[in-house]
Amino acid sequence: MTVGTVTPDLASWPPLDDDKRAPGQQLLDWAADGDGPRLCLVRGAEGSGKSALLAWLLAGTVGRPGLTVHATVPSEGLTTESFAWELGRQLGYGPLSPDRLLDQVGADERPLLLLVPDLHRAGAGPADLPSAAPETLVAELLEPLLAIPHLRAAVEVGTSGLLAAHGGVEVVDLGEGGSHDTGQDSYAELAAAVPRTADARPDWSRAPEAVRRHILDAALRTDDQGAAVRGLLADPGFLVHGSATALTAALADERIPVPGRLREVWRRAAPELTAYHTDSAERAALLHAAAVGTDPDLTEYLRPLAGQHWWSTVWARRDVPLSAPALVPGGEERKLLASDPTGRLRTYDVGSGASLGASGGGAAGLGASGGGAAGLGASGGGAAGLGASGGGAAGLGASIGTVSDGTVSDGTVPTIVRPASVRPRSIAPRDARSALLLDRSDALLPLVTEDDPTAAFTLERIAEHHGSAALAEEDSLVTALGSGGTGRPYAVVGDRGGTVHVWSLGEYQDVPRSCRVHEQPVTAVTCVDTADGLTLTFSAGADGSVRLWETSAEPMPVPVQQRRYRATALSAADTPAGPVLAVAWSDSELHLWQVFSGRVRVLPWLRGCDALALTPEGLLVLADSEGLHGVRLRFDVLWER
């Protein structure tokens, strides 16, 4: 494996002291020689300059072709789990568990070069647990990583014997020079350095960084029956400002009592909290997001600080896993349509997340248009009975009955079709009682009521059009469904061939407005009407591109954004700040674009998102593995730096 075609010249790197030139040249030669040993151990006593030498190597590669460091993970205080989260972030996968990280690295086609400073300082938590020892990180993660043929690593090990038994090792030894002071401050000494508020409470926002990093570890060493540890864990100010990696390790010990449901809340937020967040309001927003709906006391304490940030969570629905949220067009109050695990659709209040009842005011007929044998024809009875939409032999003529599902907010008793096989992964609502669904089997289905034959005719035409197209050509198979328009509802359909189709749901169309926007299958779509009469359609492709198409013109010649990762969801709204596009990515990043200016902000959400819904007022609904969350965006400060 060759990293570069030209051996880097030491003279072109940042300058080194004379006593560091020989080890620097050795380290540089190793890094440039992709066919040599895959592991380089940087050894030496405390203060000998080991970390500085790795930093020197990294600094010299910036902007230089032929030699790339893909990740640098300082390991002091990290456990196997927190190391995996950080390495996953830097490699572009998002924070992953150790097992999932190993799978991702194994599948990564890049020749990877890692730098690992301070491995001998790894470990955190109570000293009697394996997580406190660096050997655990080596055995559980570093050794398996080094077994992957396309990965190489330079690792700082101090004077320890870590990784010494690994075969084929280059050793850069900086000797015994430097300071040997390894003394640790006591908990009392560190606590005395924390400033106090007017009412004598610890002011962690003004505490020295070294104190915030080490005081929990010192508390764990204190012989006071755990009083110091319990005091820190009961202080929300320390939760916001203290070392996230130390807190993660301590809270993993079930023997330590914690207030409320802190352990559950922290576990939810830890993968993102352990990233480098210097903004205390952002850390508060992340912890607050994890606490909403779980720990009321912690939620209320964090709310004022989280509310100062440019985003903050206002509600969460974790009681029932919900998916495929979509805004219902029209009406003075914003409503959301979403699917529960049984496939039943319900409406929710966007501002609070409160359930408004089951969707659908009467019997609903479903027609499927997945192409091939998947095409289902439904007969709901009366005017809503829908024929098969798969076309030709795909129509199976199945009859689907109706069931009663309780009472909606206006007092009516809805009866909705709920075939066991239907599990919507995307929804394009026409109104609160009818919608187009994209099933997890990739079938396009209309959901309508018995008393609205106009909606039945409109939605069935869309399903029939795409079902027939899929039977005629494999590239026409539907791969994505999105919605748009708060006044005039739209359905946006993406297919395997990269074409985007825009349908009006408010009026009948025989054919859609269509354009081939991508070279790869479409993974997500949405659209928005602007105040000046434009219809902007956004689509994401399997190649990591996001494209903009104004439907009266040609698509933009270049992507709005191009990344190595897959866009999992899109949503757009015309806001007081102009059109805004929200993009969720497979590496757990969530991007907010101010469309006309091109400015972007990254929202560090707690996990990957499957669907998004953005209101013009700035309420962003996110669907992830735990349910639905409502996040308030402050458009007045969102793009400020």
Q: Write the pLDDT tens digit of every residue in 404-453.
A: 333 333 333 233 444 446 889 999 999 888 999 999 888 899 998 878 88
Considering the domain architecture, whether residues 52 and 160 belong to the same structural domain is answered as yes
Considering the domain architecture, whether residues 377 and 481 belong to the same structural domain is answered as yes
180 or 530, higher pLDDT: 530
Residue range of the domain that includes 337 = 317-633
Considering the domain architecture, whether residues 292 and 259 belong to the same structural domain is answered as yes
> Is the pLDDT confidence value at 218 over 70?
yes
Tell me how far the alpha carbon of residue 68 is from its chain's centroid: 26
**pLDDT above 70 coverage of the chain, percent:** 87
Whether 188 is covered by a domain: the verdict is no
Q: Which of 283, 309, 335 represents a domain boundary (last residue)?
A: 309
- Are the C-beta atoms of residues 485 and 329 closer than 8 Å to each other? yes
In DSSP terms, 170 is beta-bridged to 40
Considering the domain architecture, whether residues 294 and 422 belong to the same structural domain is answered as no
pLDDT of residue 5: 45
Mean pLDDT in residue range 255-282: 91
pLDDT of residue 451: 82
> Is the pLDDT confidence value at 24 over 90?
yes
Whether 238 is covered by a domain: the verdict is yes
Per-residue confidence band for 397, with pLDDT thresholds at 50, 70 and 90: very low
Q: Which of 291, 309, 327 represents a domain boundary (last residue)?
A: 309
Mean pLDDT in residue range 591-616: 92
Whether 183 is covered by a domain: the verdict is no
pLDDT of residue 165: 87
Per-residue confidence band for 616, with pLDDT thresholds at 50, 70 and 90: very high
Residue 42 and residue 28: Cα distance in Å, rounded? 12
Whether 641 is covered by a domain: the verdict is no
Whether 4 is covered by a domain: the verdict is no
pLDDT of residue 380: 33
Mean pLDDT in residue range 583-611: 91
Which CATH number is 113's domain given? 3.40.50.300
pLDDT of residue 182: 56
Least confident of 133-142, 279-288, 405-414: 405-414
Residue 549 and residue 379: Cα distance in Å, rounded? 37
Considering the domain architecture, whether residues 145 and 207 belong to the same structural domain is answered as no
Residue count of the chain: 641
Considering the domain architecture, whether residues 478 and 376 belong to the same structural domain is answered as yes
pLDDT of residue 134: 97
Residue showing tokens 């509310």 = 307
Average pLDDT, the chain: 86
Per-residue confidence band for 179, with pLDDT thresholds at 50, 70 and 90: low
Mean pLDDT in residue range 365-386: 35
> Is the pLDDT confidence value at 364 over 80?
no
Considering the domain architecture, whether residues 523 and 394 belong to the same structural domain is answered as yes
4: exposed, middle or buried (Cβ count in 10 Å: 0-12, 13-18, 19+): middle
Whether 160 is covered by a domain: the verdict is yes
- Are the C-beta atoms of residues 345 and 427 closer than 8 Å to each other? yes
Enclosing H/E stretch for 323: strand 323-328
pLDDT of residue 607: 87
- Are the C-beta atoms of residues 495 and 479 closer than 8 Å to each other? yes
Task: Please state the domain count of the chain.
Answer: 3
Considering the domain architecture, whether residues 351 and 289 belong to the same structural domain is answered as no
Mean pLDDT in residue range 203-207: 95
Number of neighbours of residue 96 by Cβ within 10 angstroms: 22
398 or 628, higher pLDDT: 628
**pLDDT above 90 coverage of the chain, percent:** 66
First to last CA, the chain: 42
Mean pLDDT in residue range 287-297: 96
Q: Pull the structure tokens for residue 363.
A: 């019997």
Considering the domain architecture, whether residues 568 and 446 belong to the same structural domain is answered as yes
Enclosing H/E stretch for 103: helix 98-107
Considering the domain architecture, whether residues 354 and 287 belong to the same structural domain is answered as no
Strand-pair category, 151-158 with 39-43? parallel
HEC letters along 327-345: EECCCCCCEEEEECCCCCE
Which CATH number is 445's domain given? 2.120.10.30
Whether 134 is covered by a domain: the verdict is yes
Q: Which of 143, 173, 203 represents a domain boundary (last residue)?
A: 173
Whether 187 is covered by a domain: the verdict is no
Considering the domain architecture, whether residues 114 and 248 belong to the same structural domain is answered as no
Q: Pull the structure tokens for residue 369.
A: 């248009």
Considering the domain architecture, whether residues 279 and 324 belong to the same structural domain is answered as no
